Every structure is written in structure tokens, then in C-alpha cells.
Amino acid sequence: MGQKRLFGLKNHSFFTFSTRFYPLITAFSIKKESHFNTTVTYVQLRCQFIKRTFRETRSPMSFKKISVNIIAALFICFVLIQFIRPTISHPSGTGDIQAPVQVKAILQRACYDCHSNQTDLRWYDQIQPVYWQVAAHVKAGRKGLNFSDWKSMAKPDQQAKLWEAVNQIAEGAMPIKSYAMVHPSAKVSAADLQVLKAYLLTMVNNKPADTSKTNALEKQYLQQQNPHPATPLPTALNGITYIPDYKNWQPISTTDRFDNGTMRVIFGNDVAVKAIKDGHINPWPNGTIFAKVAWDKLSDKDGNTKTGAFKQVEYMIKDDQKYASTKGWGFARFKTPKMVPYGKTVMFATECINCHRPMKDNDFVFTEPLKF
Ligand code: HEC
Ligand code: HEC
């Protein structure tokens, strides 16, 4: 045919050149990326226009034709990706949370899709590429908090998780915004939040003058009279060493946790104090250190409260480079007057950053410095 053309050009005064662009899918890959414990899977398609020059007389391909080609190619991809599906399993779990009907109803409609084994997806959740996102959320959500495995958690852990849940809702971080937008029934109203808070309070024993707390204070006092011989300073698994100097820092805020009967003071080092003075606290400068100290809250029958035994001190150390994997903050927690480093593996800091995540627009810091 080429031959014929070449030699059959008598009718034409000269060759006609036409250039066409063909959309061609030249690369197709599935990529996974991890942000904290969420894995996002997405498909990358590279579409290139292949330029071809024809030596002939036909008219160049019209814009309309090119558009049709692109749409057809996208449609084929859309159909193909429907078949690449991560599985969402529904194991039975160790035992569902037992809570009043009202409480459970809120959790079920707002949280269970991602935080239980009873994931119930709507049809529009099942279409790719949305489904990838949903499956990643379910996986990461179940890992952090699974109401279907509630029974295997110790009581204090259940209480801590519930407090974290209430906190995440109050900060507007849960349920995930993109999900709540397409699942209007998942929205948690202010009244719902009150129901959850009230339930959480029933789990707490905030009795005045708790004798065990008074005893703990007494014991601690006696220990301080007979201190242990000096030992090297304890170090957390991520290499952060206990910093005794926090006692000389400036208090920058104080909080009271309603659910677990503790009182806290947050201290800041010189860098933190200077940053507050200069108004440079979002982001906080490198070198900032916070120490949050918690004591038992002791209340007497007249309703007066004071600090009881020392519970723990927690640090957040700002260093963009060193702690890049936990958003620029190094976390450490030391418990009891013996300063036992918290955490079974170096991954303990993931738990810290996850709970601080609702404050991501505030450099992951909850504390609003006190105004004097
Ligand atoms: C669309 C899925 C989805 C829904 C719905 C959802 N979450 Fe989450 N949740 C996640 C994911 C994913 C994470 C992991 C952290 C992240 O990526 O933000 C998470 C993390 C959490 C955590 C931190 C767990 C940890 O790692 O310690 C808590 C607490 C939490 N969610 C509570 C809730 C509550 C309470 C609700 C209902 C009001 C809810 N979530 C609804 C997906 C969801
Ligand atoms: C259950 C949620 C949760 C977890 C888990 C958590 N934090 Fe926090 N953290 C908070 C809240 C809420 C505050 C605000 C002060 C308060 O309420 O006492 C805070 C405040 C702090 C502060 C004072 C600076 C600030 O952000 O206000 C430090 C330091 C701190 N946390 C360290 C840690 C460390 C270290 C860990 C992990 C070992 C950790 N946190 C885990 C919720 C959490």
C-alpha cells in the first residue's frame, strides 16, 4: 500500500504531511504510600501523546476525535481497575463493646464502618478508585481502635480509648471528614457527644478523698525521704533521656482530665517561652521542649482539690530533622517516681502522634499558652 501511494502521487502536486497525536497509556502502576498507619493505594497511569507524522493526504485528526480517544482510554482503565480489589474481611473479633443502647447506636452509625469488624459499605463505597481509600481507612481504623475486639482490652485501656474517641470527635477529627460528607448519618452532633461523655464519666471513679490515692501520696512522700542511690537517667526506646531540669522551666498551661482524675501542668523550656513571647508558635521552633506532668487529683468532701501522688512526665521535643517520622516531634513518657520509660517497642510514639493528630493545624500541640 505504501508503495502504491508513493508511486501513485501523480494526482498530487507534492506530498502532504500530517501530524497526529495519539493518546497512549505508556505506564500503569499501583502504588502504596503510608502516612502514619494509614496505607493509601492508588493507581498511576501515564498517558502520553505519541506524535506520528504521516506522509499522506488525509486531513489531520480532529480535536473531537482525540477527545473521544482519551475518554475511551479512561473508560477502559476505569473498568479494569474495578477488578483490582483489596479484601475487607469480617472476622468475629474477641467481643463487642457493651454499652447503653444510645451510646452504641452513635458508635455504630458513626464509627463502626472503620472501627469494627462489622464494616457495612454502601454501593458507592465499592466503586474504584474510592474503594481503595475506603479499604485503607478500614485497615488503619481497625488497627488503632476496634470495637469488635473491645473485650480483650483491659478496663483502663478501654477507658483511655474511649477518652481518645471523645477527644477525636470533639476536635472534629473523627469521623473522617471525607467520609462524613458522603455518609450524612455518620455525623456526631453536640448532643451525641454529650451522651458519649456522660457514658465515659460513668466508667470513672471520681470519689472524693479516694483513700488509695491518699495512701499513694503518703508512700511517695516516704520514698522521697529515703531516696534511692543515684542511677543513670532512664532513656526511652527512641533514645530520649529523662530531663530532670523541667522543674526549673516555666509553667505555660494547666489542664484537668475529667475522666481519669489527674491534674496536669505543662512546662516549657527557654526556647518555648521565647517563642511564646515572640508569637512564633505555629510551627514551634526547633529546640522547643514541653514537659507535661501529671499528678493524682485529690478532692476532699468540701470539694477542694489538690495534687496527690506524682504519676508521670511526658516530653515533646521539636526537631524537624531528627523526628521527621513523627511530624518533627520526639515523644517520651516516664512513669511513676522511678521514671520508667513508657512503650514496649519504639513504635510507641505512633500512639502519641495519632492522638495529637487532631491538632495538625496547630503543629500537633494542644496547649494554648496561658495569657498573663
Ligand atoms: C472512614 C473511616 C473512619 C471512620 C468512620 C471513623 N474513623 Fe476513626 N480512624 C480512622 C483511621 C483511618 C484512623 C487512623 C489514624 C488516621 O489516619 O487518622 C482512625 C483513628 C482513630 C482513633 C485513634 C486510634 C489510635 O490509633 O489510637 C480514634 C480514637 C478514632 N479514630 C475514633 C473514631 C470515632 C470515635 C469514630 C466515630 C465517631 C471514628 N473514629 C470514625 C478511620 C475512621
Ligand atoms: C489519648 C490521647 C493522647 C495520647 C495517646 C497522647 N497524648 Fe499527649 N496530649 C493529649 C492531650 C489532649 C493534650 C492536651 C493537654 C491535656 O489535656 O492534658 C496532650 C498534651 C501533651 C503535651 C503538652 C503539649 C501539648 O500538645 O499540649 C505533651 C508534652 C504530650 N502530650 C506528650 C505526649 C506523649 C509523649 C505521648 C505518648 C507517650 C502522648 N502525649 C500521647 C492527648 C494525648
Q: Report the pocket of ligand 1 as residue ranges, CB < 6 Å.
A: 36-38, 110-111, 113-115, 137, 140-141, 144-145, 164-165, 168-169, 174-176, 179, 186, 188, 351, 354-355, 357
Q: Where are the domains of the chain?
A: 2-81, 101-202, 212-362
Residue 2 is predicted with a pLDDT of: 40
Per-residue pLDDT 10s for the chain (372 aa) are 344 444 444 444 445 566 666 666 666 677 666 655 555 666 666 666 666 666 655 556 788 888 898 999 999 999 888 888 888 888 888 899 998 999 999 999 999 999 999 988 888 888 888 888 899 999 999 999 999 999 998 888 888 899 889 989 988 889 999 899 989 999 999 999 999 988 988 876 555 556 777 777 777 766 666 555 556 789 999 999 999 899 889 888 887 776 667 888 999 999 999 999 998 999 999 999 999 999 988 877 766 777 888 889 999 999 999 999 999 999 999 998 788 999 988 889 999 998 899 899 999 999 888 765
Please give the distance, rounded to the nearest whole angstrom, from the Cα atom of residue 147 to the centre of ligand 1: 11
Query: Atom 24 of ligand 1 has which residue's CA nearest to it?
Result: 144
Q: Which of 250, 242, 287 lies closest to 267, judged by CA?
A: 250
Sign of torsion over alpha carbons 10, 12, 14, 15: negative
Judge if the beta carbon of residue 351 lies within 6 A of ligand 2. Answer: yes
Query: Atom 1 of ligand 2 has which residue's CA nearest to it?
Result: 164
Query: Atom 39 of ligand 2 has which residue's CA nearest to it?
Result: 352
Whether the predicted model's global pTM rises above the 0.75 cut: no
Q: Which atom of ligand 2 is nearest to the CA of 164?
A: 1
Q: Which residues contact 367 (CB under 8 A, 6 or more apart)?
A: 252, 253, 255, 266, 290
Angle of helix 348-356 versus helix 155-170 axis, rounded to 10? 40
Radius of gyration of the chain (CA): 30
CATH of the domain spanning 212-362, picked from 3.40.50.1110, 1.20.1440.60, 3.50.70.20, 3.40.640.10: 3.50.70.20
Residue 9 is predicted with a pLDDT of: 45
Please give the distance, rounded to the nearest whole angstrom, from the Cα atom of residue 172 to the centre of ligand 1: 11
Q: Which atom of ligand 2 is nearest to the CA of 160?
A: 1
Judge if the beta carbon of residue 259 lies within 6 A of ligand 2. Answer: no
